[in-house]
Amino acid sequence: MPKTLKPITELTSAELLEFLQEQNEEKSQYYVNETNDINDFLSVFGLKTGEHEVTGPRIYKLYQKWSQNPLDSRSFHYNLKLFIGFDKVYLLNKDSNFFQKYCEIKKPDKTKKPLSLKHFKTFMDKFQIKSGRFYIKDVVLYNLYDKWVYKNNKNNPLSYYQFLKFCRLFFKKPPPKIVRQNEWFSVHKDVKQFLTPEMMELLWKR
């Protein structure tokens, strides 16, 4: 359809139909359905609408580092606006320093540090977590850990990435599964008694 300066109200039926089809095609380039991992990304880092102005590229840089199969930049921002306030920049509850800390600081492998190993084992003992046949999503297990850390004022908590390294170390058999960009670890079913309704909802959310 050739470009026209006519108002949309003056288009013929055929022109209007073609115009709407073009709009839908343009939109579909960036739309990704609910199976993408943006909701999990927001949950892992505790991101939601707030008062701090953060630029899109800074958020996307962290997302790229976190996601095992990241969306392209335009698809990411198209979907992110469905969750987060946007007015030229994103309005978040975390400031720019939060993103800089995660993106620019390379942390040592804590699985090789005795104190961190003891810390993770304490978490496992608290919630009776051990290998089993019940598969649990990575973000749910980290959510349980994060609440435990916060409640007990634990110093130097594990980052999401370090936490996953420990899970891969302890829950090897049966091996983890990758489903819709999330890792699912096989643990004993007893852990279900410690999961809140919100965690259960996150567990089964696609």
Asked whether the beta carbons of 136 and 203 are under 8 A apart, the reply is yes
Range of the domain at 80: 38-104
Where is the domain boundary, 85, 104, 123? Answer: 104
| Residue that finishes a domain, picked among 104, 125, 149 | 104
Q: Which element (helix H / strand E) includes 6?
A: none
> Is the same domain home to 45 and 100?
yes
In tens, the pLDDT along 72-123 reads 888 888 888 888 877 678 889 988 888 877 776 566 788 889 999 999 999 9
* Tokens of residue 68, six digits: 């095992």
Q: Is residue 51 part of a domain?
A: yes
Q: Are 80 and 90 in contact (CB under 8 A)?
A: yes
Q: Per DSSP, which regions of the chain are E strands?
A: 49-54, 85-87, 89-92, 131-137, 177-179, 182-187
Same domain for 44 and 70: yes
Residues 148, 94 within the same domain: no
- The reply to whether 44 and 97 lie within a common domain is yes
Domain count, the chain: 2
Q: What are phi and psi of 192, to 5 degrees?
A: -60, -30
Using a cut of 0.75, tell me whether the model's pTM lies above it: no
Spatial separation of the C-alpha atoms in residues 150 and 157, rounded to whole Å: 9
Q: Given 104, 136, 151, which residue is the final one in a domain?
A: 104
